[in-house]
Amino acid sequence: MAAPRNLAGDAGRRDEENAKVVEEDEDWSTGKKPKSERLPLTRCEVAAAVAVVLIFSTGLFCIYLTMPAADYGKLKLPRTIADLRLLKDHLASYAQDYPAQFILGYCSTYIFMQTFMIPGTIFMSLLAGALFGVVRGLLLVVFNATAGASSCFFLSKLIGRPLVSWLWPEKLRFFQAEIAKRREKLLNYMLFLRVTPTLPNLFINLASPIVDIPFHIFFLATFVGLIPASYITVRAGLALGDLKSVKDLYDFKTLFVLFLIGSVIIFPTLLKRKRIYE
């Protein structure tokens, strides 16, 4: 009688495995991730993320309460160039009358968006150029982008590892391998990534602490590497009326210049690797 029981047990296990496979196939066919690959954050990590968001949101709200009265109905994050033109016209006089309060609100909003990966910082960069000109606008954008990226770095250090591994597993493995090969010239490689659109800045901000990039290298590469692209965006803000789409900012000529700058930056790393192989 033992043999039949073993056969029945094997058949039961096969049925369970087949059911799991069918369930996963159904998940993929409906566009869902299998249960083993769904959001991997624990309750503590979710609670920590919510707490950070609430702290930042409360601070941002308190800053806005201290600002002079304005028509808040017209204040909204732009999603198109047309929205940005309307916002710029509404804020121009406000920025002239209350420059300190406006800059404080602008910086707080920019850093908040960069920290929590809210799309639209490119419109904030264009707005800086339109309202403050190239020099002051560039300083504002580079400062805020670096501060926001640094906040995102530490937020990812706190709860980002399971999230990034879940969202971009292949890209994270590629990034980790590239970092491991370039440890001795890591600053050059990080500058290359920041100057060129090889990897999205969002991914770099989140993945850097996970692959053990030191913060001082991350900070310096971000601060210096974002200058070329920020200059292009801020300068475009001066001619906001002629701009039709955000895609017009990065045409073939602009991308060629950025990759040329990036190639010059990463050249010492490539040269050293060639000497090692020889």
Cα gap 4→238, rounded to integer Å: 82
The answer for residues whose C-beta is within 8 angstroms of residue 191's C-beta and 6 or more apart is 221, 224, 225, 262, 265, 266
**With the C-alpha atoms ordered 247, 253, 255, 258, is the resulting torsion angle positive or negative?**
negative
Q: Within 13 Å of residue 267, how many CA atoms lie on the same side as its CB?
A: 7
**Tokens encoding 84:** 């940005």
Q: How many CB atoms lie within 10 A of CB 69?
A: 5
How open is the CA angle 165-171-173, to the nearest 5 degrees?
A: 70
Mean pLDDT by 10 residues, the chain (278 residues): 46 49 43 48 75 83 72 72 88 84 88 90 93 94 95 90 89 92 88 90 94 94 94 90 80 81 71 49
Largest CA distance in the chain: 92
pLDDT at site 33:
46
Cα gap 196→183, rounded to integer Å: 19
Task: Encode 176-191: b = buried (16+ Cβ within 10 Å), e = exposed.
Answer: eeebeebeebbbbbbb
Cα gap 135→108, rounded to integer Å: 20
**Which residue's entry shows tokens 């916002």?**
87
Cα gap 182→160, rounded to integer Å: 23
pLDDT at site 72:
58
- Name the residue among 205, 195, 203 with its Cα closest to residue 250: 195
- What pTM was estimated for this model as a whole? 0.76
